[in-house]
Structure 1
Amino acid sequence: MPKKRVLVVDDENTIQIVIQSCLEDIAGWEVLLASSGQEGLKLAETEKIDGILLDVSMPQMSGIETLKKLQANVITQHIPVVFLTAKVQSEDRQLFSQLGILGILVKPFNPMNLVNQVADLFAWEV
């Protein structure tokens, strides 16, 4: 089975490092990093990506705006997306469920459980 490639789009460097370390060291997946929605869109278009972990709250272009651009692009619209967010009010969950994402990974998350959470959300084998 080929190695999974995950794109992490988050403006917080610490979050990027923790996710990258966990997914690469524990699951053996390859992790690409983007610090903005714009950077994430470029990587999603030019790299073969199996799944995207996308921060909702970012400057310049929010995760929701980034998601809509991914969904509107024929090259990237097939890539499954999971939101990374600290906001999980019931009205947010309702909005997120209408956007066509696979799920939500709530920050802060437990690094020890991260691989299993991501694998469950994307329905991947670990």
Structure 2
Amino acid sequence: MAESLNRILYVDDEPDIRAIVELSLRHVGGFDVQMAESGARALEILDGWTPQLILLDAMMPGMDGPATLAAIRQRPSLAGVPIAFMTAKVQPSEVQRFKEIGAVGVIAKPFDPMSLPNTVRELWGGAGPT
């Protein structure tokens, strides 16, 4: 039987967006969600917890989403974890760039909190379980 998605790490510097995503994924979707306010904090969380999917904001101060993705990919134990961006940068050229650096997809901001869990499940299903 295929493993179902449960553990998600969400990384975003905006507290309001983190709160909405947490409510959506945890309470509507029933996921085990860890939240990080920066790429550096995400790396700390990943030292002791392995998610099945990582969602990154593209634009963050300090370590942005692409830099965070690159740092995660340097860890062999996380090489197979699908990573997607949640961002307002959704022009075709931007989406293509995210995919070229290893993202499995892009979820556009703003998003519908009630449908976000299904969007995440569909994205993860396309990436395949790790």
Using the size of structure 1 for normalisation, the TM-score is 0.91
Structure 2 SS opposite 1:75: helix
Q: Does structure 1 retain, via aligned residues, the 8 Å contact 2:5–2:52?
A: no
Match of 1:18 among 20, 24, 33: 20
Unaligned runs of 5+ in 2: none
Runs ≥4 in structure 1, deviation > 4 angstroms? Answer: none
Deviation at 1:3, TM superposition (A): 6.8
Per-residue CA deviation, residues 20-51 of structure 1 (Å, 9 max, x unaligned), is 11111122111101000000111123102111
Per-residue CA deviation, residues 50-93 of structure 1 (Å, 9 max, x unaligned), is 11110100000010000011111112222111101101122212
Using the size of structure 2 for normalisation, the TM-score is 0.88
Match of 1:40 among 39, 42, 46: 42
Q: Does structure 1 retain, via aligned residues, the 8 Å contact 2:8–2:54?
A: yes
Distance (whole Å) between structure 2 residues aligned to residue 67 and residue 45 of structure 1: 15
Distance (whole Å) between structure 1 residues aligned to residue 4 and residue 89 of structure 2: 34
Q: Specify the alignment match of 2:111 in structure 1.
A: 109
Distance (whole Å) between structure 2 residues aligned to residue 31 and residue 9 of structure 1: 11
> Percentage identity across aligned positions?
35
What is the aligned-residue RMSD (CA, Å)? 1.6
Output the amino acid matched with 1:44: L
Distance (whole Å) between structure 1 residues aligned to residue 29 and residue 87 of structure 2: 22
Match of 1:121 among 97, 106, 123: 123
